[in-house]
Chain A
Amino acid sequence: MKRIYVNEQWCLGCHLCEYECMYANSGLDEMFKLKGKAGKDILPRIYVEGGEKSPIHFAVNCRHCSGTACVNGCIAGALTKNDDGMVVIDKDKCVGCFTCVLLCPFGAIMPAADGKAAQKCMLCTDNIKGEPNCVKYCPNNAIVYEERE
């Protein structure tokens, strides 16, 4: 299965991925319409680590890992691992207890902007982009979508 991997060596800490993520999941038809909404009405599902002064940056989003701590701990059965090995959240089932936030060792699942449910990367299969927008627009191949196993 193709998955998102990060190449720390090439991450510039530009945070474009966060905005591309928000755009992809906003349902908006133009990116500039994120104006005033980004970071408020919609939050990224990918997070760039490393502050402005840090020499190291890398983006973290759901690893769709084998441990699936979030799935195991979900009190509502809202998180599942599908047949493709992708960890999927059903936001209608999620009650927003954030046990998953407590369990994810990558810090890759977070409350959605409304605070009522969790959100996580679903590799852009849940929006019209179809494949990871963060990868597509990473200017330096610091995030890649590929088969490694």
Chain B
Amino acid sequence: MKYLLIGNSTAAIACIEAIRTLDKQGEITVLSKEEQFCYGRPTISYCLAGLTDREHMNYRPLDFYEKMGVSVHLGVSAESIDADKKQVKASDGKKYSYDKLLVSTGSRPFVPFAEGLDKVKNAFTFMSYDDMEALDKALSPEKEVVVIGAGLIGLKCVEGIFDRVKKVTVVDLATRVMPSVTEEESAAMIQSFLEKKGVEFVLGDCAASYTENSVTLKSGKTLSFDILVTAAGVRANTSLIADIGGKVNRGILVNTRQQTSIPDIYAAGDCTEGYDSSIGADRVLALMPNAYLQGKTAGLNMAGGDSEYKDAIPLNAVGFFGLHMLSAGVYEGEIIKVKDENKLKLLFVKDNVLKGFILINDFLRAGIYTSLVRGKTPLDGVDFDMLVEAPQLLAFPAEARAAKLSRRA
């Protein structure tokens, strides 16, 4: 069996690990556009802040590919797929054949067009190690930075650079920070925390035009900068599949077995649009735990196993300067709120299940909440008052608790 994997990040690594649980012999080949040894992509902001370094960013030990019997081609990108011949044409001019193909091409930064953008010399995105390294070289204490995008990536970038530059201003069209994972109150709390640190925000506004060192916003406000970072969202890399007529929406469409619409081609990670159990429909869930489980599911199925990934939900853990926000699921239904000076707990309950939650600085044992969301556990079967107080296994019936503690659950 010949396995070919396009991409070398979380989904691909998970796929390799899964294949090897079932098939120790099959030939595995990885094509990686990036020249980097696999690394934890979200750790780039920590690297920028000096909290980790390249060596420690390795997602797996250096002997990983060797141990797994994988042939890796770094700096080689896939250009096209021939699904009939089961071949992939690559940038090194070679054709790689496969029996099973995984497309885990990830996503790319979305840079909204605005007039004059091409004149900005110090413009960066914040998606890869190379992006980070380029930005790193540009940073110095006297510089002012404008970050377009107050989403997860934008704010993590802010954290990474904040102590290394003079000033950071964040601009977002949305009226609150991290709009995809917050609601009003949690967003306000985070924004105010960051503002106290000294980060400036211009929300509900967007770039209308650029000069080399300034941006004029729709509102007419002008911000000058030495460095511009655009983190205004990402787009899934779907073209390899779209080009050969595979079904593509915002991401490559996959079923719960991670199969694309084309036989023997699987897809996993940020490039896909798959089933989100929290909304009961397909959507892009560009999240690391999701990428891993998709990759794992794909790998198992590619190697002849039978695996389905049916309980994907949104999950986010993000921290800035010691503030931590952990969240999961969707924010609909009745809100149970526990608020303290600098702590916030929001639980969203609907139809006798915990639909989602947001925890700021009060997140110990949050995984117990996550398991309720993911498992759609009926709340009348647990002591929910106890759970509101604090996530705890004591709130589960004795049998369920015993099953959990038996370490199999």
**A interface vs B, CB < 8 Å?**
3, 5-6, 8, 47, 49-50, 54, 56, 58, 60, 63-67, 69, 72-77, 92-93, 95-107, 109-111, 115-116
Contacts and interface: CB of A to CB of B under 8 A. Distances in A.
B367 A105 contact: yes
B40 A75 contact: yes
Given A75-B42, A105-B371, A3 B407 contact: yes
Contact of A107 (B56, B317, B364, B401): B364
Among B324, B402, B405, residue most surrounded by chain A Cβ atoms (within 10 Å): B405
Chain B: interface size category:
35 or more
Contact of B59 (A5, A50, A77, A92): A77
A130 to B, nearest CB: 21
Contacts, number: 134
B403 to A, nearest CB: 11
B196 interface: no
Contacts of B365: 47, 101, 104, 107, 110
Interface stretch (B24-32, B111-119, B287-295): B287-295
Contacts of B328: 102
A135 to B, nearest CB: 15
Contacts of B392: 49, 107
Interface of B: 14, 39-43, 46, 51-52, 56-60, 288-289, 292-293, 296, 315-319, 322, 324, 326, 328, 363-368, 370-371, 391-394, 398, 401-402, 404-409
15 contacts: A3-B407, A58-B393, A60-B393, A63-B407, A72-B289, A76-B40, A76-B52, A97-B317, A102-B328, A105-B370, A106-B404, A107-B366, A109-B367, A110-B365, A116-B51
Contacts of B406: 5
A1 to B, nearest CB: 11
Contact of A98 (B56, B319, B401): B319
Contacts of B393: 49, 58, 60, 106-107
Given A72-B296, A76-B40, A101-B364, A95 B408 contact: no
Contacts of B398: 8
Nearest to B59: A77
Given A50-B394, A98-B363, A72 B292 contact: yes
Main secondary structure of the interface of A (DSSP, over half): loop
Given A65-B409, A93-B52, A95-B52, A107 B288 contact: no
Contact of A75 (B43, B322, B370, B404): B43
B319 A96 contact: yes
Contacts of B370: 102-103, 105
Q: What are the 10 closest A-B residue pairs judged by CB atoms, nearest first?
A: A107-B365, A63-B407, A73-B289, A104-B367, A105-B371, A77-B59, A99-B317, A95-B46, A76-B40, A75-B42
Contact of A99 (B59, B289, B405): B289
A49 B394 contact: yes
A132 to B, nearest CB: 14
B59 A76 contact: yes
Nearest to A90: B56
B319 A97 contact: yes
B324 A98 contact: yes
Contact of B293 (A63, A72, A74, A98): A72
Contacts of A95: 40, 43, 46, 51-52
Contacts of A103: 289, 315, 367, 370
Given A63-B407, A72-B14, A76-B40, A99 B60 contact: no
A6 B407 CA distance: 10
Contacts of A5: 405-407
Nearest to B392: A49
